[in-house]
Amino acid sequence: MWAATAPTLEGRGGSYLADCAISMEHAPWALDRDAARRLWNLSEEWVGQPFPL
């Protein structure tokens, strides 16, 4: 609920959150843009629907 309503998160989409705060501790792949792009492309392929970014 905090992530959806906190004014401090306004305009900060894509942040990694833990214990009601922005966290710098995350899995190495959590911010891997290449992996995210590959997953996005696979997801579109699997559902047969393109989703604009």
Q: What domain count does the chain have?
A: 1
User: pLDDT digits over 6-24, tens only?
Assistant: 898 888 877 888 888 888 8
Res 42: pLDDT: 96
In a domain, 20, yes or no: yes
Residue at 18 is within a domain: yes
Q: Which two tokens stand for residue 21?
A: 């705060």
Output the six-digit token pair for 43.
């997801």
Question: Which pLDDT score, from 0 to 100, does residue 48 have?
Answer: 96
Task: Tell me, yes or no, whether 42 lies in a domain.
Answer: yes
Mean pLDDT of 24-32: 82
Q: Is the pLDDT of residue 53 over 80?
A: no
Q: For residue 26, give its domain range.
A: 2-47
Q: Is residue 53 part of a domain?
A: no
Chain mean position to CA 1: 16
Task: Compute the average pLDDT of residues 41-49.
Answer: 96
Give which of 11, 30, 9, 29 is closest to 20, Cα–Cα: 9
